[in-house]
Chain A
Amino acid sequence: MGSPSLILALLGLSSVSYYLGWRRSISLAQGAVRNLHSLPGYHGLYTALWAAVPALLLLCIGVTLKGPIVTSIVVSDLPAEVQSLPPERLNLVINDIRNLASGNIASRKSPAMVAAADRYVRLQGYAAIAVTVAVLVLGVFCGAIAWRTIQPGKRARNAVERTILGFLMASSTIAILTTVGIVLSVLFESLRFFQAVPVTDFIFGTEWSPQMAIRADQVGASGAFGAIPLFAGTLLISFIAMVVAVPVGLMSAIYLAEYARPRVRAVVKPLLEVLAGIPTVVYGFFAALTVAPFMRGMGESLGLDVASESAMAAGLVMGVMIIPFVSSLSDDVINAVPQAMRDGAYALGSTRSETIKKVVIPAALPGIVGGVLLAVSRAIGETMIVVMAAGLAANLTANPLKAVTTVTVQIVTLLTGDQEFDSPKTLAAFALGLVLFVVTLGLNVIALQVVRKYREQYE
């Protein structure tokens, strides 16, 4: 039985157990539920949990251990000269046996290996049957014991609630586990990368050409991993994006918060937020197909040489994507400025714009800065727009009309397509990912801190 059907069987078992536990508690209650400590449903749940949870745990253990145990038994039966091979060669042999067992073509074939493959298939079958039987037996056994222990005075509700609380606590740790997972996965691969390429070369090198030589005599395969051009390209595009997004976002937030009539605001604000809901791949499509050729054409008519994958096009479109982000964050902080401060300014005879410029904005500045920092971290981490509209060539330039590449573009190009997992080329992507994670995390922490400080001021 495969795992999905086994899980279904366990679900069936636990529903039956629920019913049996419920029945038993009712019959023990002798016609009056108040004779029970817990409601019959809790007795049912108690029995069902005992029938399902230990069996599920056993299933997990069985599925993880099944493969290694079968493999080690097969290996121990291989001829001695095969067993004494170095580990990586032995792994190749094991892979071949697995391929033979699943009916694929293996690179080498010998009678001993065919026999081993047969044995592998047979053992796999036995192991699957053993796991199935063990899981079902354990489920029935635990369910039966729980069923037997049902008494009118049994505190079934407390036990069930403890289990549920345990589940709640466990799920709240997933956030931590995710962060730990991210840190560990990028950190380990990055450390392996830094064994091949020194950290200083990576952070301070000005040449990026990750093509590694497959043969020693290959042309143009230097494999330089200097990430400065990528950082510069990322900053250039993010800068262009912020030049678009901050003034437009801020001004529209001010207009909507201070000037617009409620009815206009009710229509325009959701419309602007539609911009935030559009998938980035759509922005990328627009940037690559419409904005970039338009820029190029405009540049030509002005006598400028604009690359067809210019930083300008990608940055502009990214800026538009970030407008609603900046404007909704600024909107929040502008609305949080107490009305009394505005009234004070009006009473002194200021016009609206003077009040906004001299009172509201300075008061809201920390919040706005926090919002802008969050927007910067969005821009740095944005992937699809730049993958589709920015270039691949790592040019170290500050000219927005040239093509530049970014950290995220390089991660995507290094990791899509065929990859071998131990070449510096693929590992470099993880090193770039580490930089990206650290930088965006730093920006977020600072931004959230700034925003929180500001909120406390007016509460």
Chain B
Amino acid sequence: MATPPKSTIERVRATLARRNRAERRFKNLGRAAVLLGLVFLVLMFVNIISTGYPAFWQTYVKLPVYFDPQVVDPQGNRDRETLGSADYGALVKASVRSLFPEVEGRRDRRDVAKLASRGTVFQLRRMVLADPSLVGVRTEIWVPVDDDYDMLHKGNVDRTLPEADRRLSDRKIGWFDRLIAEGRIESRFNATFFQAGDSREPELAGIWGAAMGSFFMLVVTLSLSFPLGVATAVYLEEFAPRNRVTSLIEVNINNLAAVPSIVFGLLGLAVFINLFGLPRSAPLVGGLVLTLMTLPTIIIAGRAALTSVPPSIREAALGIGASKLQMIVHHVLPLAMPGMLTGTIIGMARALGETAPLLMIGMVAFVVDIPQSVTDAATALPVQIFLWLDSPERAFVERASAAIMVLLAFLIAMNALAIVLRRRFERRW
């Protein structure tokens, strides 16, 4: 049986419900995509903050220390040389063992001494050198515990696991629990984390060295890329003739902005280190590489800022007899400066988070000392995160997340500054 021909409106009505369903489906799909991105963002932040937050705290143990004159200063003349080279390790061992007089056997006695951080030795040495009258004194001091016990105290050691699968044996956990019961364990703010350089011991490791490395690098980058970027933008926008060379430069800049960062690292290794003989691992080389990387960003932002200055300003300046350069320096540049600064800050933020090219130029070295100049060996904050993640200790993972939090805080601050600059000084013509 043939169906009678339908009118247009009937045909539309027949499919309308289906089409509206498709419409809703499509809209929800879009909503889901946006949500997915946001969920991931939240997930990442929650994950990092929850892993990293405990690193701002460090477990301390109260040790009864006796600065035994027999060990520290056998001659009794308080000579700095003797005081400096004394066997403070023996003091630490004696002090921890005095808390556990019942522990017998070579291995156990050795293990129990490792309860306090290895840095305790240096802490005692510093105390005695600062105040030699401590020799012969019996006192109680708070020292960081070893990272394994720190993890135990923060609840990162699963006590229900079989003993062989844990980093701490039942015996060690027993010692620690006894100290807690005696009130000798306390969580304190981890100031070391913000003051120290890298270390093999998580409880002694800090980000200050890496932060200084990043700082020196950014100083080099900023002092080179800002003048060069502004100069290039001004030349291309205001002076360059429209010819093949100019368009070659423009194409080049656009392409450099998309070259993988690791290739810039190869350039730095081959040219700055092998050809020019600059020192490896130095913030100077890192800064140079990052300069080349951020230049395209700054140039592109700078040109956009220059084009947004209306021609009437230029014509007015030229009309009352300014030279072209006077017109640019006195009138166009001040008006374009907020836009250029915004671009520069965003470029700097990207440079701060960049890791891959720094691996190429040897900034992955284990650097304990805080760098003092642009030619000292150094690492950068993101590289430090990478290095800590590679370490087997759980405590380093925690510190890596904390370092990420610090890094993200800097990045957010820089981007916020850029946004404020743009809001505050943006002018519509």
Contact = CB atoms under 8 A, between A and B. Distances in A.
Interface of A: 157, 161, 164-165, 167-169, 171-176, 178-179, 181-182, 185-186, 188-189, 247-252, 254-256, 258-260, 268, 271-272, 274-275, 277-286, 288-290, 320, 323-324, 327, 349, 351-354, 356-357, 374, 377-378, 380-384, 387-388, 408, 411-412, 415-416, 421, 429-430, 433, 436-437, 440-441, 444-445, 448
Interface string B233-276: 01110011000000011001111101111111011011100100
B408 A278 contact: yes
B401 to A, nearest CB: 7
B410 to A, nearest CB: 10
B342 interface: no
B26 A356 contact: yes
Contact of A282 (B231, B248, B407): B407
Interface stretch (B70-78, B86-94, B354-362): B354-362
A416 B357 CA distance: 11
B137 interface: no
B364 interface: yes
B134 interface: no
A157 B323 contact: yes
Contact of B264 (A182, A271, A377): A182
A378 B311 CA distance: 37
Contacts of A259: 27, 30-31
Contacts of A374: 258
The winner among A165, A271, A286 for most chain B CB atoms within 10 A is A286
B27 A353 contact: yes
A182 B231 contact: no
A444 B232 CA distance: 22
A279 B264 contact: no
B260 A436 contact: yes
Nearest to A275: B41
B323 A351 contact: no
A266 B23 CA distance: 24
A444 B231 CA distance: 26
B187 interface: no
What 6 pairs across the A-B complex have the smallest Cβ distances?
Answer: A381-B260, A255-B30, A279-B353, A185-B270, A251-B33, A383-B356
B325 interface: yes
B385 interface: yes
B266 A285 contact: no
Contacts of B324: 161
B295 interface: yes
Nearest to B24: A353
Given A354-B22, A415-B360, 7 more contacts: A172-B249, A252-B30, A277-B415, A353-B26, A377-B258, A415-B266, A441-B255
Nearest to B20: A351
A408 B232 contact: no
15 contacts: A172-B240, A174-B232, A175-B296, A178-B267, A252-B34, A277-B411, A280-B356, A281-B385, A282-B44, A282-B353, A349-B12, A352-B26, A383-B355, A383-B356, A412-B356
A178 B404 CA distance: 31
B323 A272 contact: no
A5 B411 CA distance: 34
Given A252-B34, A288-B389, A388-B386, A175 B262 contact: no
B341 interface: no
A178 to B, nearest CB: 5
A282 to B, nearest CB: 5
Contacts of B234: 168
A123 B354 CA distance: 42
A286 B253 contact: no
B218 interface: no
A282 B37 contact: no
Nearest to B389: A285
Contact of A174 (B259, B295, B362): B295
A187 B228 CA distance: 27
Contact of A254 (B30, B383, B385): B30
Interface of B: 12, 19-20, 22-23, 25-27, 29-34, 36-38, 40-41, 44, 47-48, 51, 227-228, 231-232, 234-236, 239-240, 248-249, 252-256, 258-264, 266-267, 269-271, 274, 292, 295-296, 299, 323-325, 349-350, 352-356, 359-360, 362, 364, 382-383, 385-386, 389, 397, 400-401, 404, 407-408, 411, 415
B260 A440 contact: yes
A323 B22 contact: no
A164 B325 CA distance: 9
Contacts of A433: 262-263, 266
Nearest to A352: B23
Contacts of B25: 353
A408 B360 CA distance: 11
A176 B23 contact: no
A412 B333 CA distance: 41
A179 B252 contact: yes
A248 B382 contact: no
B48 A285 contact: yes
Given A161-B325, A383-B261, A383-B356, A444 B255 contact: yes
A174 B228 contact: yes
A420 B142 CA distance: 47
Contacts of A383: 260-262, 355-356, 359
A165 B325 contact: yes
A415 B364 CA distance: 11
Contact of B267 (A185, A250, A274, A320): A185
Contacts of A165: 235, 239, 325
B302 to A, nearest CB: 11
B239 A384 contact: no
Given A175-B253, A182-B264, A255-B27, A289 B389 contact: yes
Nearest to A272: B37
A433 B357 CA distance: 12
A356 to B, nearest CB: 7
Given A251-B29, A286-B48, A436-B260, A271 B41 contact: yes
Contacts of B249: 172-173, 175-176
A323 B37 contact: yes
Contacts of A189: 270
Contact of B38 (A268, A354, A384, A421): A268
